[in-house]
């Protein structure tokens, strides 16, 4: 269906006309649509709060969702939202100007969570965990105020893989970011439509579109993070064996509880064998029936 269209959403004004970019755009759109359908993200009369940080991933998410909606395959109302958390040197005018120019419905919210994180985080520790919880709480509040049924995030395939290995190496559990999650209160979904999309494709797309990227390290707490260490490990594996990331991601969709060790997922204690029945033959060895 998508290949039948030669035009694109107005948000793509000025997009490169090269064959390479067209293939990239179609690939991202196809993978996003597949994830939305596979994980059942569309509800009747849904309204999505699409979170925009100003990074390459959230710009890609915003553009692709608008194109899918424009093509008539995503029947939801989209509201873009940026949460300004008071980080030092955050360019507060960039996103409002961009969204206004692109005629994208949006809400800009200012909440100085950065000061709270600075005050509560012990010296030498990273800000990310507390910062993330405060951000998520504010996004849930905004979603409820705006009548949204889902908070939509720009996490991609590589984010999901890195989170899996962080939990494996440091958390002692097999878990990652799910593509679809129901919040604890049970009133909001959290969606990750880019779950199948590679980070490299998001970077190529956002660079080609010349979106005004805002760096994610404004708080200065990124150096030496466990996630960066895991990312380096995955980069090394990928360099030594191209395609390794995609194979590992496929494994996350092909879990076998009976071949793991969690008795909550598989009833090992209740696993019974079938008694063997033998018929005695006076001339030969016992015959298995």
Instruction: Tell whether the model's pLDDT for residue 228 goes beyond 60.
Output: yes
Rounded Cα gap, residues 127 and 207, in angstroms: 28
| % residues pLDDT > 90 (the chain) | 69
* HSE (side-chain half, CA atoms, 13 Å) at 283: 0
Question: Is residue 274 assigned to a domain?
Answer: no
Find the range with the poorest average confidence among 32-46, 55-69, 83-97. 83-97
Question: Is residue 22 assigned to a domain?
Answer: yes
Question: Is residue 279 assigned to a domain?
Answer: no
Q: Please say whether the dihedral angle defined by the alpha carbons of residues 168, 171, 174 and 179, taken in this order, is positive or negative.
A: negative
Question: Is residue 130 assigned to a domain?
Answer: yes
Domain total for the chain? 1
CATH number at residue 171: 3.40.50.620
Question: Is residue 269 assigned to a domain?
Answer: no
Burial 207-228 (b: 16+ CB within 10 A, else e): ebbebeebeeebbebeeeeeee
Instruction: Find the domain containing 18 and state its range.
Output: 2-259
Question: Is residue 289 assigned to a domain?
Answer: no
Q: What is the pLDDT of residue 263?
A: 95
Instruction: Tell whether the model's pLDDT for residue 94 goes beyond 70.
Output: yes
- 168: buried, middle or exposed (CB in 10 Å: 19+, 13-18, 0-12)? middle
Q: What is the pLDDT of residue 220?
A: 52
Name the 3-class secondary structure at 19.
Answer: helix
Q: What is the pLDDT of residue 46?
A: 96
| pLDDT: which is higher, 200 or 216 | 200
- 22-38 pLDDT, tens digit per residue, is 999 999 999 999 999 99
| % residues pLDDT > 70 (the chain) | 89
What contacts 24+ positions apart, CB below 8 Å, involve 239-247? Answer: 245/157, 245/158, 245/161, 245/198, 246/157, 246/198
Q: In terms of pTM, does the model score above 0.85?
A: yes
Q: What is the mean pLDDT of residues 216-225?
A: 56
- 107-165 pLDDT, tens digit per residue, is 999 988 888 887 777 776 666 777 788 889 999 999 999 999 999 999 999 999 999 99
Closest by CA to 198, choosing from 241, 240, 155, is 155
């Amino acid at each position: 269906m998508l290949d039948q269209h030669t035009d694109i959403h107005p948000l793509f004004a000025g997009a490169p006309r090269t064959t390479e970019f067209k293939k990239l755009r179609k690939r991202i759109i196809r993978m996003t649509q597949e994830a939305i359908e596979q994980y059942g993200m569309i509800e009747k009369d849904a309204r999505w709060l699409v979170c925009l940080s100003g990074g390459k991933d959230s710009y890609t998410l915003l553009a692709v969702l608008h194109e899918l909606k424009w093509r008539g395959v995503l029947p939801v109302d989209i509201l873009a939202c940026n949460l300004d958390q008071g980080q030092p040197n955050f360019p507060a005018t960039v996103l409002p100007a961009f969204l206004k120019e692109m005629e994208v419905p949006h809400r800009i919210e200012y909440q100085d969570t950065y000061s709270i994180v600075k005050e509560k985080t012990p010296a030498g520790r990273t800000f990310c965990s507390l910062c993330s919880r405060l951000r998520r709480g504010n996004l849930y509040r905004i979603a409820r105020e705006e009548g949204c049924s889902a908070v939509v995030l720009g996490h991609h395939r590589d984010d999901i893989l890195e989170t899996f290995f962080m939990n494996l190496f440091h958390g002692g559990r097999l878990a990652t970011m799910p593509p679809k999650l129901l919040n604890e209160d049970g009133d909001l979904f959290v969606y990750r439509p880019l779950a199948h999309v590679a980070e490299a494709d998001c970077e190529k797309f956002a660079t080609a579109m010349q979106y005004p990227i805002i760096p994610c390290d404004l708080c200065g707490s990124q150096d030496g993070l466990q996630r960066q260490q895991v990312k380096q490990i995955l980069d090394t594996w990928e360099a030594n064996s191209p395609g390794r990331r995609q194979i590992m991601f496929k494994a996350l969709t092909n879990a076998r509880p009976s071949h793991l060790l969690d008795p909550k997922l598989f009833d090992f204690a209740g696993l019974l064998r079938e008694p063997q029945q033998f018929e005695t033959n006076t001339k030969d060895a016992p015959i298995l029936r």
